[in-house]
Structure 1
């Protein structure tokens, strides 16, 4: 099997593996996975920025922006309180990521990760109601 075919097979396996995990995940688990994904992409973008890998930085920042936009759009805006605070934090992160990308500033990426880490940690520690995983 050629290297290209092996890579295609690996990508297909990874994609189907992610589909299986997300299909069986609770809403709580999905949000935890999205927050983790955003943090991972920001870390990859930060490393790429420090190594001068512009293409990888752009790709990972764009991916983290897409994740945060999804999280932001998923908030129940009518609930007030925590939803409003999360919306403000996500908005800050989105603006800061765009600015970091334009300025090629790895420190600004760190700022966003510093905001998201406590949200992720609190989400992971949040008690789940009956029937939730």
Structure 2
């Protein structure tokens, strides 16, 4: 890929993040994790172990960011389940990296695609309700 295209893609993501609402940020994080897992699978196929390690490390950092963004108080059981699922994903990625396992990476991709699909279907009205609830919370309670 040429430098110009890489720069354009980088700026595009930065611009998207600069104006993104919290819902969109989570979408972008999930998309980034999926893209890095796809790259990791390709690196394994090409026996590029350094590339694989970098892609899996980026994916794990993104999944950890998703995990830390959960509102454990307001989210209740859903947040608890997602926290455990994100933990499982990161553990599977460790195993995938160690075993050079494309199938383990695919398993994590499938799980994240299911979560992302549900996230993408949240209606705008429900998102707005969530933003209103968050802004109505006392400072420091969130």
TM range (shorter): 0.7 to 0.9
SS in 2 for 1:113: helix
Question: For 1:86, which of 59, 82, 88 is the aligned residue?
Answer: 82
The equivalent of 2:109 in structure 1 is 113
Give the TM-score, by structure 1 length: 0.85
Does the Cα contact within 8 Å between 2:23 and 2:127 map onto a contact in 1?
no
Greater RCO, CA 8 A, separation 6+? 1
Change (3 A) 1:47 1:131: closer
> Do residues 74 (structure 1) and 69 (structure 2) align?
yes
Question: For 2:30, which of 31, 35, 39 is the aligned residue?
Answer: 35
Distance in 1 of aligned mates of 2:70 and 2:40: 26
RMSD of aligned Cα (Å): 1.9
Give the TM-score, by structure 2 length: 0.80
User: Gaps spanning 5+ residues in structure 2: where?
Assistant: 129-142
SS in 1 for 2:124: coil
User: Gaps spanning 5+ residues in structure 1: where?
Assistant: 1-5
Deviations 1:63-112 (A, max 9, x none): 10010000001101123111111111101001111111112111111111
**Number of residue-to-residue matches in the alignment:** 126
- 1:13: how far off? 4.6
Question: For 1:100, which of 75, 96, 107 is the aligned residue?
Answer: 96
